[in-house]
Amino acid sequence: MSETAATAATALITQGLETLEAMAREAGLVPACDEFFFLRHGETAGNASRTFQPLDEPLNAQGHQQARAAAAILGGASFSRIIASDLPRAWLTAGKVAAASGHPVQPEALIRERFFGDWIGTPSAGFDWRHDPPGGETLATFVARTLRGLQKNLAQGDRPLLVAHGGNLHVLRGALGVPWDAAHTANALPLHFRRARQGWIMVALSR
């Protein structure tokens, strides 16, 4: 890909994410808690090959290792409960954290990744979120569904851990007005969200 084409592709990716996050911000999210944690699932074969994934895509070997490392990091986080997308890649990741923490995992279908319909199995590199996949979920439907799931599971005054997907993280950040940073979408990177005087703050956790 030429430098010009790469620049144009990056611009489309950015514009798509800005549209997604603006939709989430306009709809709004009002957590009852003052802090919570978010964990994207570990790596899958689809992540590694940059293809749209089927619903039943599991973790690959690297993903299992990442999930165990995240569980070790979250061991000192003192979260109160675990809520996870019921798709295998998120559920398996949450299971590693549950085994290390002793907290059971509550399934939540509302925080599944966007369903990409006819695009499943095709390359996802350079994806523009504004495009709606044939046979799949529209962006508006995905954003609204994710926000319902987030609002439902952040409605208590405790410190929950949400284990979900990259798309859900984009919706969450948009709704709370947290600045974009591509590094924060890494697989199995634990994130700590905290309400501050100037708004919500997101910090990546590490050993």
| Burial 32-64, CB ≥16 within 10 A → b, else e | ebebbbbbbbbbbbbbeeebbbeeebbbbebbb
From CA 135, how far away is CA 37, in angstroms rounded? 32
The pLDDT tens digits for 106-156 are 999 999 999 999 999 999 988 999 999 999 999 999 999 999 999 999 999
The answer to whether residue 42 scores a pLDDT higher than 90 is yes
How many domains is the chain partitioned into structurally? 1
- Res 2: pLDDT: 56
Q: What is the pTM of this model?
A: 0.95
Nearest alpha-carbon partner for 189 in 35, 66, 23 = 66
What are the helix (H) ranges across the chain? 3-27, 45-49, 61-74, 88-101, 139-153, 166-176
Q: Quote the percentage of the chain above a pLDDT of 70.
A: 95
Average pLDDT of the segment spanning 171-189: 94
Quick: pLDDT tens for 7-40. 666 788 889 999 999 999 999 999 999 999 999 9
Q: 9 CB contacts (<8 Å, ≥6 apart)?
A: 1, 126
Q: State the CATH number of the domain containing residue 155.
A: 3.40.50.1240
- Look at residue 3 in the predicted model and tell me its pLDDT: 56
Provide the pairing of β-strand 35-40 with 190-196.
antiparallel
The rounded distance, in Å, linking the Cα atoms of 155 and 83 is: 13
Q: Which domain holds residue 26?
A: 3-204
